[in-house]
Amino acid sequence: MTLAFPLGSVGHSLTLMRGVWHDHIETFNLDGTPLPHDPWAGAPGDSPFDNLVYIDFDGENYQQTNVTFRGRPFHARSFTAKYKDGKLYFDKLGPEAPQHIGISGGVGVLWFLSENNTDEPLSRYSEPDCITLDGYDHRTRMTVLYRNGVAVRTLTAKGVRVASTCERRVEFDPRGAEGPVHDVRSVTKVYMKNNG
């Protein structure tokens, strides 16, 4: 499917990201030393690790499913969003979660972050993402994680495209080759005042 969006727009970058990616993910302390175990993430675990990232975008509807397949126990998370007025609006990520959006940082650069940084739940958890596309088959995602208002770690994911569409699961998906690509939309409790 061919979609036409202005160069550098959110829609254009989302179109370029469609398909399946193999992300190799590393976490770091703020001084740059490797962080072998990340206790602060929404899904805590060891580092480095690898995800499959399935991305669908039809010009309005966005779906993403991350499937951990190496370095951590199996885990799958799915997100949905709608593209409107030049921005991507994510469906609520969980109880007390602020509105998250996707915005452009120029050609091949996307930011996923909260629309309003004064929302009180962001003092408990905030992790803005910057995704850069390097040609057709490579991408990099970088985040800074804030817990209780303080930066605690960074994350870098280096991705290689392994399929140009995500009509079906790739053969090394730990869920097996058969079945739907996207799971039921995930819900996180990291924004809740009492999430224990």
Q: pTM value? A: 0.94
Lookup result for tokens 């979660």: 97
Residue 156: both structure tokens together: 């870098």
Work out the pLDDT band at 3, boundaries 50, 70, 90.
confident
pLDDT on residue 22: 98
pLDDT on residue 37: 97
pLDDT on residue 1: 55
Mean pLDDT value across residues 39-47: 93
What is the C-alpha separation between 101 and 103, in angstroms, rounded? 6
Mean pLDDT value across residues 54-59: 97
* 3-class SS of residue 14: helix
DSSP structure class, residue 93: -
CB 108 within 8 A of CB 133: yes
Q: Domains for the chain: give ranges and CATH numbers.
A: 10-163 (2.40.128.20)
What is the C-alpha separation between 78 and 181, in angstroms, rounded? 10
Mean pLDDT value across residues 98-126: 94
What is the C-alpha separation between 171 and 175, in angstroms, rounded? 9
What is the C-alpha separation between 134 and 153, in angstroms, rounded? 24
Residues 126-155 pLDDT 10s:
999 999 999 889 999 999 999 999 999 999
